[in-house]
């Protein structure tokens, strides 16, 4: 069957980045988010760099491994153990409005994925931003004892936090804390956003299967 894919937001130039000129998989996580013409939608993250190396015949993709996410020390919450699931920050997300699809989004970015996706959702829902503006806005992370902020957040903002006793770490990168890509359904059509921190794209395309 064939299905039109009106807009694809991807954290990679999919085919070239997936296999590259050498035919090898790219290193790191990849994200694709797309609504389809018949009302279906997909948000998918494929984490590489620590893959299992296992491919089911006829399927053509590596299963996630990420064994490095486990704790090698025994007797701990994240220790390697038969039948145990590893920790993941993946939070592939779809939102609905009046029972209809509103947004499809996700991100690569390790433990910072949830912080990135959350802030893009807040930018769109609470602050009324269009998807590209929402994913390009500066972000922060408060997943530890220190608040990590990207370098585009003004220093006068972080000085106020420090004056209240918060520890603030300034990330040297302008675009960081999850690399969110997404598609928003609006009255005039689909609006995609690709995080400037990665070589991703938001484009209209068609796929056949």
Q: What is the mean pLDDT of residues 68-74?
A: 81
Does residue 144 form part of some domain? no
Please report, rounded to a whole number, the percentage of residues in the chain having pLDDT higher than 70: 73
Asked, for residue 169, whether it belongs to a domain, the answer is no
pLDDT of residue 95: 93
Q: CATH number, domain at 47?
A: 3.60.20.40
Please report the DSSP string for 41-110 in residue order: EEEEEEE-SS------TTT-SPPP--GGGSBSSTTSTTB--TTPPPP-----EEEEETTEEEEEEE---G
Report strand pairing: 167-170 vs 146-149: parallel
State CA 50 to chain mean position distance: 17
* Residues paired with residue 156 on neighbouring β-strands, in sequence order: none
Query: Quick one: pLDDT at residue 7?
Result: 55
Q: Residue 33 domain-assigned? A: yes
pLDDT digits (tens, 9 = 90+) for 90-102: 888 999 999 888 9
Q: Which helix (H) or strand (E) holds 204?
A: strand 201-208
- Asked if residue 29 belongs to a domain, the reply is yes
Q: How far is CA 156 from CA 151, 175, 195, in A?
A: 12, 19, 25
pLDDT in tens, 148-160: 999 999 999 999 9
For residue 148, being part of any structural domain is answered with: no
Residues 145, 172: Cα–Cα separation, whole Å: 19
**Mean pLDDT highest for which of 42-56, 95-109, 118-132, 134-148?**
118-132
Cβ distance 142 to 161 under 8 Å?
A: no
pLDDT (0 to 100) of residue 153: 93
Statement: residue 3 has pLDDT above 60: no
Instruction: Let me know if residue 21 belongs to a domain.
Output: yes
**CA distances for 80 relative to 52, 57, 76, 86, angstroms:** 15, 27, 9, 8
> How many domains is the chain built from?
1
**Residue 92 falls within a domain, yes or no?**
yes
Least confident of 29-33, 134-138, 176-180, 194-198: 29-33
CA nearest neighbour of 105 among 132, 138, 142: 132
- What domain range includes position 184? 2-110+179-208
């Amino acid at each position: 069957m064939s299905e039109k894919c009106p807009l694809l937001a991807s954290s990679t130039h999919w085919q070239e980045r997936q296999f590259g000129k050498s035919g090898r998989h790219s290193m790191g996580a990849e994200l694709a988010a797309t609504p389809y013409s018949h009302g279906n939608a997909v948000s998918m993250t494929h984490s590489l760099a620590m893959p299992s190396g296992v491919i089911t015949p006829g399927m053509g993709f590596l299963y996630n491994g990420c064994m490095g996410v486990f704790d090698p020390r025994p007797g701990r919450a994240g220790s390697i153990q038969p039948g145990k699931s590893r920790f993941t920050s993946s939070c592939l997300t779809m939102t609905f409005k009046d029972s209809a699809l509103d947004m499809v989004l996700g991100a690569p970015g390790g433990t910072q994925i949830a912080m990135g996706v959350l802030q893009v959702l807040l930018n769109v829902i609470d602050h009324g931003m269009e998807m590209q503006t929402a994913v390009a806005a500066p972000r922060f992370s408060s997943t530890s004892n220190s608040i990590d902020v990207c370098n585009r957040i003004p220093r006068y903002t972080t000085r106020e936090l420090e004056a209240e006793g918060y520890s603030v770490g300034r990330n040297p990168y302008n675009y960081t804390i999850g690399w969110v890509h997404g598609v928003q359904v609006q009255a005039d059509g689909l609006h995609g956003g690709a995080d400037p921190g990665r070589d991703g794209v938001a484009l209209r395309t068609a796929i056949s299967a």
